[in-house]
Amino acid sequence: MSQPQVPGLPDGLIAVVKQDCPTCELITPVLVELAERSDLTVFTQDDPNFPAAISDRLLDTDLALSWHHDIETVPTLLLAHDGKELDRTVGWSRSQWERVSGVSELGLDLPEQRPGCGSLSVDPTLRAELDVKFGGSKLLGRRVEFASLEDTHEALFERGWTDGLPVVPPTEARVLAMLEGTSRSPEEVVATVPPDLVSCTVEKIAINAVMAGCRPEYLPVVLTAVEAVCTDTFNMHGLLATTMPHAPVLIINGPIAEKIGMNSGNNAFGQGNRANSTIGRAVQLVVRNIGGGRPGEVDRAAFGSPAKVGFCFAEREADSPWEPVSTMYGFSSGANTVLAFPGEAPRNVVDQLSRDPDSLARTYATNLISIQHPKLVLGFDAILAVAPDHSRVFGAAGWSREQLTDRIVELTVRPGKELVRGAGEIPEGLPEAMADLDLPKFRPNGLHIVHCGGAAGLFSAIIGGWVNGEMGSNPVCVEIIP
C-alpha cells in the first residue's frame, strides 16, 4: 500500500496554530504583523476560519503537515527554504520569534512569553490513528480483512477468537496505542504459550489485551501474568487438560494496583472494575487465541467456572494487618507483582460471632478441610481471602499471617484412620498404608492468606487449588516490568 505524500514546507515563515489555544489567540496581532512585514504562511489545525485577521491561511487537512513535521506544540513558528526547515520556536517568546523571523519589535503590547498548547497531531485520542495513516505499518501481525457486509463482532466470534462475549476489534491504531503502555519491544518474546507451545511476543499479547478491553496502562500487568502462567512451574497445559474446573487466579500487589485503578475492596471478585475484569480476560484470550487452549478441545473441564473468563483482583494492602502475600515469594513489601494461582471459583465463609483469633481460625480450618474432599489432604493448596471485618480480629490480637497460617495447619491435622478409603463409609480417601499417620490438610506454604474484600461484612472466602506439587501446578509470583 502506497504511503501518503509528505507535505512540503513553503519557503519563508510558517506558523502552525489552532483556534482552541489561548496562546494562539493571544499572538494573532503578531501573525498580522509578520504577514505585513515578511513572507508568512499560516496553517490552522482545527478551524478553517482561524485566525480571521489572516486572509491567507491554510487548513492542515488531516493534520498531515503537523504530523510529518513533528509539530508537538502550537503555536509553532518555523523558517524554511527549499522545503527544508532551518529553524523553529514553540509557544510565544518575543525574543525567540524575533530571532526566527528576523523581524524586530514584535508584539510589544503582549506579555514577554506564554507557553503554548498541545498540537492536535499528538493528541492521545488522535495520535494512534495518525501514526497508522502517515507512519505506515509498524506491526508484524497478520492483517485480517473482513468483507464489507460482515459484522465485525460476529466475524470475530465466528472465527473462534472470542470467549463467547463480544471483544474490541484489534485495529492497528488500537494495538499501537496499547503498546504505548509498556517500554518493552513489540518483538520481545514474553512466553511460550501452551498447549500448542507458540512463541508469544509483546505485540501478540497487546492484540489480545485490546480484544479484552484493557487500557494501555494495564499492559505491563498482562505481560507479567502471561509470563507467570506459561512457566513449567505453573503448568498451564495441565491446568487446561484437567477435567477439574480450575483456571489462573491473578493477585496483584504493589502500588501499580492503585495506579491503574484496580479493585481490592467491595466486590473485589465481581464485576464492575475494568482493570480487574479485563486483565484476567486478556490472559485467558492469549491462552485461547495464541496457545490454542479452547474448551471442548485441550480444555477438558467437566464444569469449568467463571474464572475461565478471567479472575483477577488486587490485595487490599493499605489497611492490612499483614505484609502482602507476595512476600511469601521473597519480594519486598511495595514490589509490583503478579501471583498466579491455579484456583476454582470462590466460596463464602460466614462467622459473625467470633471475636477472638483462635475461634475464627477454627472456623477457617473447619471450612478449609472440605476443599475438593474432606478426606483428601496435602494435594490441594488454597487461598484464604480475609476481609477487613475479620482481619481486625487478628490485627487487634497481634497475630501475624504466619501465626494464623500455622494455627490453621495445626487445626487441620487429622488422624489417617479417618481419611483412608472406606472410613466413614466413603470409598474416596487415602491408601490404607496412611492410616497410622497424622496428616495436615495443606503441604508447607500451601495456604495463601490474602487481605481483600469490603469493609462491611463478617465474611472471608476460600479459593481452592488444583492438584498442587510436582504432578500438578504450583503458584508463581513474578515482578512486573514496566
Contacts of 109 (CB under 8 A, 6+ apart): 29
> Are 172 and 319 in the same domain?
yes
Q: How far apart are CA 407 and CA 40, in angstroms?
A: 81
Question: Is 165 a residue whose pLDDT tops 60?
Answer: yes
Are 462 and 314 part of one and the same domain? yes
The reply to whether 33 and 109 lie within a common domain is: yes
- The share of the chain scoring above pLDDT 70, in percent, equals 99
Q: Are residues 403 and 453 in the same domain?
A: yes
What confidence tens digit (pLDDT) does each residue in 84-132 have?
999 999 999 999 999 999 999 999 999 999 999 999 999 988 888 888 8
Task: Measure the CA–CA gap between 12 and 146, rounded to whole angstroms.
Answer: 46
Q: Is residue 16 part of a domain?
A: yes
Please write the tens of the pLDDT for every residue from 299-344. 999 999 999 999 999 999 999 999 999 999 999 999 999 999 999 9
Q: Taken in order 375, 376, 378, 383, is the CA torsion positive or negative?
A: negative
Give a yes or no: residue 5 inside a domain: no
Q: What is the total count of domains within the chain?
A: 2
Q: Going by DSSP bridges, is the β-strand pair 447-451/380-386 parallel, antiparallel, or unpaired?
A: parallel
In a domain, 1, yes or no: no
In a domain, 299, yes or no: yes
Q: Do residue 324 and residue 198 come from a single domain? A: yes
Least confident of 128-137, 364-373, 392-401: 128-137
Q: Which of 460, 284, 277 is nearest to 384 (CA)?
A: 460
247 and 334 together in one domain: yes
Residue 38 CB coordination number (10 Å) = 13
Residue 221 lies in domain = 154-479
Q: Do both 166 and 263 map to the same domain?
A: yes
CATH code of the domain covering residue 90: 3.40.30.10
Q: Kindly report which listed range (125-134, 161-170, 430-439) carries the lowest average pLDDT score.
A: 125-134
Give the separation between CA 89 and CA 98, rounded to whole angstroms.
Answer: 10
Q: What is the dihedral of CA 430, 431, 437, 441, to 10 degrees?
A: -20
Q: Are 112 and 210 in the same domain? A: no
d(CA 129, CA 107): 37
Sequence-separated (6 or more) residues with CB below 8 Å from residue 14: 40, 41, 42, 43, 77, 78, 79, 80
**Beta carbons within 10 angstroms of residue 340's beta carbon:** 29
37 falls within a domain: yes
**446: in domain:** yes
Average pLDDT of every residue of the chain:
94
Predicted TM-score (pTM) of the model is: 0.83
Over residues 17-30, the pLDDT tens digits come to 999 999 999 999 99
Q: Do 339 and 386 belong together in one domain?
A: yes
Tell me which of 119, 141, 166 is where a domain ends: 119
Q: List Cβ neighbours of 147 (8 Å cut-off, separation of 6 or more).
A: none
Quick one: 213 and 96 in the same domain?
Answer: no
In-domain check, residue 49: yes
Q: Per DSSP, what are the bridge partners of residue 193?
A: 198
In a domain? residue 125: no
d(CA 421, CA 81): 91
Same domain as 296, residue 385: yes
348 and 397 inside one domain:
yes
pLDDT digit string, tens, across residues 260-296: 999 999 999 999 999 999 999 999 999 999 999 999 8
